[in-house]
Structure 1
Amino acid sequence: MHWTTLTGLLALGAPATALIRFQCSQLVVERLDPLVTPGEVPSPHVHQIVGGNSFNATMDPSKDMPGESTCTTCQFSEDFSNYWTAVLYFKARNGTYKRVPQHSNAGFEGATGGGMTVYYMQDPLYDTKQASKVTAFKPGFRMFVGDVNARTKQEAARFRQLTYTCMDNAGSRENETVAFPARVCPYGIMTSVRFPTCWDGVNLDSPNHMAHMSYPESGTFESGGPCPASHPVRTSQVMYEVIWDTRQFNDPADWPADGSQPFVWSFGDPSGYANHGDYVFGWKDNALQNILDTKCYATSCGGKQQSIADMNKCAGLKKTVDEDIGERLQQLPGGHMPEPERR
């Protein structure tokens, strides 16, 4: 898939100053993955999805996603994109599994299923100027970040932008790790998923859903590193924050007898190194670019927005896969078993 007209893409307009931050309620939780395993019902492991209600097992890239969707669980009502991650489970001492619920970020209370907070950043989150020039993604664009097979710190190092925060309270944001926290987290565990920011300017996707995107040639996104010549188009950084509500699992008596951490991803990773995320672009018309070209912050960015109550009306998409994915399971959905961390 290609976007063939690059004219004017590299000659962007005046510097923009937008940092977009908004909440999306949970659309559905089930074993579907139209990016990595399109058409496979069920997909190998459980995901939690937010965004437009045209989400389905195939997500044909030739179709008009905004036109296919009739509503979205996201705060910006013209954002019919789909954002998804794997699901976290707690493995009890008796060997059973229970899905860990989510809760929303502070200020977004009431979002169905907790959902996730989504960012589009032109510069690092702490840079209030947000002065870099970026271009919005194009219809049909999609990408993936992470490695579901990573089980060592070295394997995870390629994706250092995928992290965990052990939250002592709702404002905890420090001491990120690339592995699951090893201690009880009083408020919950937050996963942060940060996508690459350099696009090749041609391909809307690639066989591994990553090759058409790149990290900076030198330095990092945070240091303002330049994009490589192979991927010259600078995009905003898409970032997800998901808060897993681990409070009901904080009793050490329920943890493994050896004191090791008890959480495992839905595909069998107990190390945390295989954190990953999927993204399928679906903003209507030029809505995203218009916002990125506006001086604004968070939800003051204009555009068409809806209340959390209206977001929630779009939640609860009818499931394609009928199975128990949540309560005291003898094994993870799909038959996955935890794979120990490799040394």
Structure 2
Amino acid sequence: MKWGFVASLGLLAPVNALLRFPCAQLVIDRRDPLVNPGSAPSPHIHQILGGNAFNTTMDPSKDIPAEATCTSCEFSEDFSNYWTAILYFKAKNGTYKRVTQLPNAGFNGVNGGMTVYYMQDGLYNFQQTSKVTAFKPGFRMYIGDVNARTKSQAERFRQLTFTCLQNIGTRDPQILDFPSTPCPGGIMTAVRFPTCWDGVNLDSPDHMAHMAYPESGTFETGGPCPASHPVRMPQLFYEVIWDTRPFNNKDDWPEDGSQPFVWSFGDGTGYANHGDYIFGWKDDSLQRAMDSPCYVSCPTLKTQSAEAMNKCTVDRVVKEEIDDWVTTLPGGHVASYRK
């Protein structure tokens, strides 16, 4: 399905519809307070978005909205932090170049970043009427496997995908590994988190066990939550558009014809696509939005301009080259492929 079609439907849809908004880039840094709290540098580099209370440890006992003074997201009550790894291009000579991000359809002027969704029902269901319980203060989660290098390993997770964009509106087909041909509009990565909570734990040792997928199918299928994780929560979903267009000359690609893109931790397959989340909405603002769903313009939430979003940044803690060509990825990683 094409986003242009989806967007046009959204303009005609009633108030009940999915929550979709942009977040500008807060910082690019080698920090990961979820998986590697207290470590600076963390093993690989990330793009981080959201509230400027972001720090190396992100103590779960802290009140994030009280500590933040701005957010790079459109809704100014959302001080959550969202992050993913960075995409790199590997040239024929073995050097690497960071791939920048493009704003999504409808969000011109936003500095890269990503699009964030919170949904009660599936993405293409504009009658978002199901009841969900919003995430709680202190909640955090992770999805994906940084060590995955095979399709079977990636299939453990539902809907961590790539789309080779023909234009900004392309949404299908979605695949589990990097596209093998140049993509005219860039590459979009999608990260969909599990939606069933155990109702007790705000986190778990692997940052995943407190969450589960529906018993049958995906969130879009409307399957029930398992008895072990009975609380239905919003579908949190990231879309990141990587501007791979400057690297579409196949003469610069590896001589063996393999695709040239690699995650910042060295994965050259794409199977290790993953994402991190730390909840930080102010007061009951997210629950209000879920109880009175909206599309883009949300009367229950405060919004801010792209200019205000772009101004909300934090300084990098780890000082290393992130814009020039490099011989190894930050952290010393090199491209690795199927096991």
Corresponding residue for 1:88?
87
Superposed CA offset, 1:199-244 (max 9, x none): 0010000000000000011232111010001100000100000000
Distance 1:92 1:299 in 2: 42
Q: Secondary structure at the match of 2:221?
A: coil
Match of residue 284 from structure 1? 282
- Which segments of 5 or more consecutive residues in structure 1 lack a partner in the other structure? 1-15
Corresponding residue of 1:12: none
Percent identical among aligned pairs is 68
User: 1:20–1:301: 8 Å Cα contact kept in structure 2?
Assistant: no
Alpha carbon RMSD of aligned pairs, Å? 1.1
Alpha-carbon deviation of 1:142?
0.1
Paired letter, 2:318: V
1:183 equivalent in structure 2: 181
Q: Corresponding residue for 1:118? A: 116
Superposed displacement of residue 18, structure 1? 4.6
Which position in structure 1 is the counterpart of 2:264?
A: 266
Kindly report which structure 2 residues correspond to 1:1-343, keeping only aligned pairs within 5 A, or say none: 17-112=16-111, 114-315=112-313, 317-342=314-339
Equivalence for 1:3:
none
TM superposition shift of 1:193:
0.3
How far does residue 259 in structure 1 lie from its aligned partner after superposition?
Answer: 1.2
One-letter amino acid of the structure 1 residue matched with residue 247 of structure 2: F
Whole-Å Cα distance in 2 between the matches of residues 103 and 62 of structure 1?
Answer: 34
Residue type of the alignment partner of 2:322? I
Matched-pair contact (CA < 8 Å) for 1:100–1:246: yes
Matched residue pairs, number? 325
TM-score (norm 2): 0.94
Task: Give the C-alpha shift of residue 312 in structure 1.
Answer: 1.1
Determine the C-alpha separation between the residues in 2 that align with 1:245 and 1:219. Answer: 32
Counterpart CA distance in 2 for 1:228 and 1:338 is 38
**Alignment check: 8 A CA contact 1:190 1:241 kept:** yes
Amino acid at match of 1:60: D
SS in 1 for 2:101: coil
| Counterpart residue identity of residue 268, structure 1 | G
Gaps of 5+ in 2: 1-14
Q: Say which SS state the counterpart of residue 330 (structure 1) adopts.
A: coil
The one-letter code sitting in structure 2 at the alignment partner of 1:318 is D
